[in-house]
Amino acid sequence: MNKSAVDSALHESVQDVLEKMFFVDLLQPCASEAMGAGITAELSFEGNPPGSFRLTLDSVAARSAAADFLGADPGELSSAHLADVVCELANMICGSLLSRIESSTTFRLSKPCLASAEDHSQTGEVACFRARVGAGNLHAEIFLERPVCPEIVESAF
Amino acid sequence: MGYRVLIADDSPVMRSFVRRVIELSGFELAECFEAANGAEALETLRSEWVDAILTDINMPVVDGEELLRRLAVDDLLRAIPAIVISTDATRNRIERLMALGARGYVTKPFLPETLRSELERTLGVPCE
């Protein structure tokens, strides 16, 4: 699987999760630009290949997503609620993505935790997706320790 | 008349979401119990009878796989259908959990009607 296929799978995963679980109808991909202060969740995964996943939502997007997910008034949500929802969103997007790109293997996700948006210590293959969510911004990145191997199809020949 | 459902998930926001989605879906929910892991789920099941269990896989203390194993060897609790809710949609994982005794499997993300139909299928609710 090449990088553009992983990029495409990441886009599909973000869109699928937001549409079905957060009731967000349309994602507008946007160009790379600096994001405002927000919440970053990170998790690692074992699989073929292993790697890590990071998701950042600026404060506007995080509050909007948490309100949609919990069916709550945005003004009533605490910072802990926002952090929990961003962590859960990261877990769902990463799981959905790995199910698309590592469909023939079994993977295991670590528990998502909060991270610094500036911490970019990961190396390897990278795919990222940035989009508008309501009036805010979302940035998702996956780091793969090596390229995804194509599934070997057994042939009778 | 409605059904009693136990949700086992270590994420409080996910438990709230699942409960809300069940209610929004139109499923006949009479009462909903919550557990933060498999051990809490088993503790709840000692005092409360439920019609179905919705469980995550990755949980601390007793995870979803171990919960399914313990349900399967319990003469009373094995009758309660357990449905796994997970982000993992890989064939290997689904087959493994169904072999451990799961009666249904819903992959995240899911629509409210998907969860409702899986609950109704496992409970044998006649189609409208």
What ipTM was reported for this prediction? 0.85
Residue B126 confidence class, pLDDT cut points 50, 70, 90: confident
pTM of the model: 0.87
Does residue B49 belong to any structural domain of this protein? Answer: yes
Averaged pLDDT for residues B13-30: 95
Domain that holds residue B53: 3-120
Domain that holds residue A61: 3-144
CATH of the domain at A98: 3.40.1550.10
pLDDT in tens, A7-20: 899 999 999 999 99
pLDDT in tens, A95-125: 999 988 876 677 888 999 999 866 666 666 6
Q: List the one residue out of A25, A4, A67, A41 whose CA is nearest residue A138.
A: A41
Does residue B77 belong to any structural domain of this protein? Answer: yes
DSSP state of A75: G
Give the per-residue pLDDT at A41.
Answer: 96
Does residue A149 belong to any structural domain of this protein? Answer: no
Q: List the one residue out of B42, B38, B2 whose CA is nearest residue B22.
A: B2
Does residue B70 belong to any structural domain of this protein? Answer: yes
- List the single residue in B with minimal CA-CA distance to A68: B17
Does residue B128 belong to any structural domain of this protein? Answer: no
Q: Do A21 and B92 touch (CB under 8 A)?
A: no
Chain B window 101-120: which residues touch A at a Cβ cutoff of 8 Å?
A: 107-111
Are B122 and B104 spatial neighbours (Cβ–Cβ below 8 Å)? yes
- List the single residue in B with minimal CA-CA distance to A110: B58
B16 Cβ contact list (under 8 Å, min separation 6) = A70
**Res. A157: pLDDT tops 80:** no
Alpha carbons A141 and A128: distance in angstroms, whole number = 4
Q: Domain total for chain A?
A: 1
pLDDT in tens, A87-97: 999 999 999 99
If one counts every other C-beta atom within 10 angstroms of the C-beta of residue B61, the result is 11
CATH of the domain at B94: 3.40.50.2300
Does residue A153 belong to any structural domain of this protein? Answer: no
Does residue A101 belong to any structural domain of this protein? Answer: yes
Does residue A154 belong to any structural domain of this protein? Answer: no
pLDDT in tens, B27-79: 999 999 999 999 999 999 999 999 999 999 999 999 999 999 999 999 999 99
Does residue B125 belong to any structural domain of this protein? Answer: no
Does residue A157 belong to any structural domain of this protein? Answer: no
Does residue A127 belong to any structural domain of this protein? Answer: yes
- List the single residue in B with minimal CA-CA distance to A86: B13
Alpha carbons B116 and A136: distance in angstroms, whole number = 32
Does residue A77 belong to any structural domain of this protein? Answer: yes
Kindly report the three-state secondary structure assignment for every residue of B2-39.
CEEEEEECCCHHHHHHHHHHHHHHCCCEEEEEEECCHH
Are A111 and A43 spatial neighbours (Cβ–Cβ below 8 Å)? yes
Pairing of the two strands A113-115 and A125-133: unpaired
Contacts of A70 in chain B (CB under 8 A): 13, 16-17, 20
If one counts every other C-beta atom within 10 angstroms of the C-beta of residue A57, the result is 27
Does residue B65 belong to any structural domain of this protein? Answer: yes
Are A93 and A14 spatial neighbours (Cβ–Cβ below 8 Å)? yes
Q: Of the given ranges (A28-42, A45-59, B4-18), which has the lowest mean pLDDT?
A: A28-42
Residue A152 confidence class, pLDDT cut points 50, 70, 90: very low
Q: Do A96 and B111 touch (CB under 8 A)?
A: no
Q: Domain total for chain B?
A: 1
Does residue A138 belong to any structural domain of this protein? Answer: yes
**Res. A27: pLDDT tops 80:** no
Does residue B41 belong to any structural domain of this protein? Answer: yes
Does residue B127 belong to any structural domain of this protein? Answer: no
pLDDT in tens, B65-116: 999 999 999 999 999 999 999 998 888 889 999 999 999 999 999 999 999 9
pLDDT in tens, A42-66: 999 988 888 999 999 999 999 999 9
Are A140 and A55 spatial neighbours (Cβ–Cβ below 8 Å)? yes
User: Environment class of residue B38 by beta-carbon count within 10 Å: exposed (0-12), middle (13-18) or buried (19+)?
Assistant: buried
Give the per-residue pLDDT at A155.
Answer: 40
Amino acid at A65: A
